[in-house]
Amino acid sequence: MRKVGIIVGSLRKESRTKQIAKNVATLFPKGYEIEFVEIGNLTLYNQDYDTIGSPPEYSTYRSTMKGMDAVLFVTPEHNRTIPAALKNALDIGSRPYGQSIWDGKPAAIISQSQGNISGFGANHHLRQSLTVLNMPILQQPEAYLSNVASLLDENGKINNEGTVQFLQTFINAFVDLINRYKA
């Protein structure tokens, strides 16, 4: 059984990003356990915690992520980059220096926006961080979802079959990446 953690960059309870992530979670094949990993409870990272001791939620988060075989990031774009909560979660997982929970963990990114840009800036800024964290990242296909308000129905389900098929192709490629690194 492979474990995939899904980290959602939006903290809003019923965010469109979270709705997209819930749709995508159903596309993984049998043999994959999917877990949504909470990041909204993490206090801001402070390097002092590396020497004086971290808040308890850091230990829980780090332990949870260490148990994951791979990570799917689903994020909106805030000011042409990733949301602060997502950056904070990356920093907490990468510290203390030399004890990163991210090292070698396969990753994939889905970015979304209400407009036409599809979270392009967030997607690429996140890729930059994941590269320095030594995470093999799914390169193709890239997943940018635009105009998400019209992509989701009143129940939060993706209402476009072509988008669902594309996301299935994306997940299939991610599963292949996971299998290459976690053989």
Q: Read off the CATH number of the domain in which 64 is found.
A: 3.40.50.360
Cα torsion 21, 23, 27, 28: sign: positive
pLDDT in tens, 50-68: 999 999 999 999 999 999 9
**Closest listed residue to residue 92, CA positions, set 123, 126, 63, 125:** 63
| 3-state class (DSSP) for residue 34 | strand
Mean pLDDT of 132-160: 96
Q: What is the pLDDT of residue 94?
A: 97
Tell which residue, 36, 39, 32, 37, has the closest CA to residue 3: 32
Tell me how many domains the chain contains. Answer: 1
Cα 77 to Cα 84: distance, rounded to the nearest angstrom = 10
Confidence check: pLDDT of 114 > 90:
no
In Å, what is the CA distance from 123 to each residue of 60, 74, 129? 27, 9, 10
pLDDT at 14: 85
- Tokens for 58, please give them: 């850091």
Q: Which domain holds residue 50?
A: 2-181
Whole-structure pTM value: 0.97
Sheet holding 2-8, edge to edge: 32-36, 2-8, 70-76, 107-112, 143-145
